[in-house]
């Protein structure tokens, strides 16, 4: 591999690599070859990818190296979850029915990334349709006996294992933030609707959100620039001293494992020691119903999303999707209306609470990644925020008793993504004690 300043290019964060490409200290081809070598070395064990074409990737990189930078992602390799359409690669949905499916055009998010200069390196494994059925083959790179989370399994593992600096994931319940926690990386789930979902498999129109992974807040910010998230240019640096932090255990605190509870306490203790004002914050009792409301809406809208698949494939379709399409959970119209109304009232109430604090810190998962590939973990600490359409930023925090990453997430009001990233810039170096370990590993 070609080394850049004595660091293997695949170990660079996206922000570091972008700066070196901009300063002509690194080429896109050198970065891509380094990532491909890493994939060749590690993917037989991690199994993050469903499609990689090395010759095509290198050809793309050489072309980008001939061009003037087109945007903030110029020359950076990007992984794409295999439920998101790509015009030059198959989109299999991890479904037996879609193994040879070749879309005619890129999904909206892929088109934006390409126009911002990104190079699509390949497709990453996923839970079937990002909704149920078959699990990904992907293993947690920290311990292959454990899940990387899901449904964005391959994207989270690929970024964590230095195979690619950036990758797209999706979230309907906890499919983006939870893998970030389990793999010890950074992830942004933007405000619902801030990024086009065109060309990504639909499960729940009210919840489905496209996000991205990186290995620093600066990485997430690069992609946010490409997507022109609102108010980025208006942000000023945030000081930790005096920052008003709400520690929110949520109504589901009894679901948190000791490692998950310790992670939240540790993050808040570190922030307090750095000068932030941390106060425990209890959500109103009405918020307790949000987890059930999210599931009601997800399964109710999922019925409409998978009816075409049922009519076409019948019993060849996995029973998870048959169940949704045939409404075997018995979701009624009244249940849907009640769930929508609860979400609307709680979202408005939660936005108003930011008059008293700047950011919420809450668990990003129950604890360490569970053992086994039969599960992707519980999304109890994610679903309510997805339903409320709040932006969420995952930050690694510590290692648990099994030596696996445990993280937290910071949350802001709707369409305050830019402010959340600025707060993330300030708090991540304080919360993330795993960063020095990662830096030592890549040397």
Active-site residues, by number, are: 81, 151, 175
Tokens at residue 339, please? 């769930």
Q: Is 428 helix (H, G, I), strand (E, B) or coil?
A: helix
Task: Tell whether the torsion through CA atoms of 45, 43, 149 and 84 is positive or negative.
Answer: negative
How far, CA to CA in Å, does 234 sit from each of 282, 384, 422?
31, 29, 11
Task: For residue 259, give the H/E element and its range.
Answer: helix 258-273
Give the sheet arrangement for strand 277-281, strand by strand.
49-52, 119-124, 77-81, 166-171, 209-214, 186-189, 392-399, 405-411, 359-363, 244-248, 277-281
- The residues, any chain, with a CB within 8 Å of residue 322's CB and separated by 6 or more, are 306, 310, 315, 328
Bond before 395 cis per omega within 30 degrees: no
Instruction: For residues 308 and 91, give the distance between their C-alpha atoms in angstroms, rounded to a whole number.
Output: 18
DSSP H or E stretch at residue 167: strand 166-171
| Distance, CA of 121 to CA of 116 (rounded, Å) | 15
């Amino acid at each position: 591999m070609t080394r850049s300043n004595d660091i293997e290019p695949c170990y660079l964060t996206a922000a570091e690599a972008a700066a070196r490409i901009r300063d002509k200290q690194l080429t896109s081809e050198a970065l891509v070859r380094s990532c491909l070598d890493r994939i060749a070395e590690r993917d037989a064990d991690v199994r993050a990818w469903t499609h990689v074409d090395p010759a095509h990737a290198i050809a793309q990189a050489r072309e980008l190296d001939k061009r003037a930078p087109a945007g903030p992602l110029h020359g950076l390799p990007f992984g794409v979850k295999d439920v998101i359409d790509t015009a030059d690669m198959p989109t299999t949905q991890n479904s037996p029915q879609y193994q040879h499916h070749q879309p005619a055009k890129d999904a909206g998010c892929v088109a934006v990334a390409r126009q911002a200069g990104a190079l699509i390196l390949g497709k990453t494994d996923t839970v079937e349709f990002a909704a149920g059925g078959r699990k990904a083959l992907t293993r947690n790179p920290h311990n292959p006996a454990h899940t990387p989370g899901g449904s964005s399994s391959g994207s989270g593992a690929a970024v964590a294992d230095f195979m690619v600096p950036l990758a797209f994931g999706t979230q309907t319940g906890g499919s983006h933030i939870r893998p970030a926690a389990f793999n010890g990386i950074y992830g942004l789930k933007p405000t619902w609707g801030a990024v086009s979902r065109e060309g990504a498999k639909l499960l729940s129109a009210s919840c489905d959100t496209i996000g991205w992974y990186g290995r620093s807040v600066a990485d997430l910010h690069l992609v946010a620039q490409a997507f022109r998230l609102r108010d980025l240019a208006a942000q000023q640096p945030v000081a930790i001293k005096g920052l008003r932090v709400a520690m929110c255990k949520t109504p589901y605190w009894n679901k948190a494992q000791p490692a998950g509870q310790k992670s939240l306490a540790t993050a808040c203790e570190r922030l307090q020691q750095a000068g932030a004002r941390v106060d425990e914050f209890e959500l109103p009792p009405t918020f307790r119903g949000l987890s059930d409301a999210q599931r009601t809406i997800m399964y109710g809208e999922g019925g409409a999303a998978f009816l075409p698949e049922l009519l076409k494939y019948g019993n060849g379709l996995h029973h998870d999707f048959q169940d949704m399409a045939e409404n075997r959970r018995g979701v009624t119209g009244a249940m849907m209306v009640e769930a929508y109304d609860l979400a609307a009232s709680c979202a408005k109430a939660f936005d108003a609470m930011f008059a008293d604090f700047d950011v919420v810190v809450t668990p990003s998962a129950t604890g360490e990644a569970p053992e086994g590939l039969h599960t992707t973990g519980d999304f109890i600490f994610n679903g309510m925020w997805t339903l409320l359409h709040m932006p969420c930023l995952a930050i690694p925090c510590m290692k648990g008793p099994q030596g696996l990453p445990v993280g937290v997430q910071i949350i802001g009001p709707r369409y305050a993504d830019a402010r959340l990233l600025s707060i993330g810039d300030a708090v991540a170096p304080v919360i993330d004690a795993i960063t020095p370990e990662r830096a030592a590993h890549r040397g």
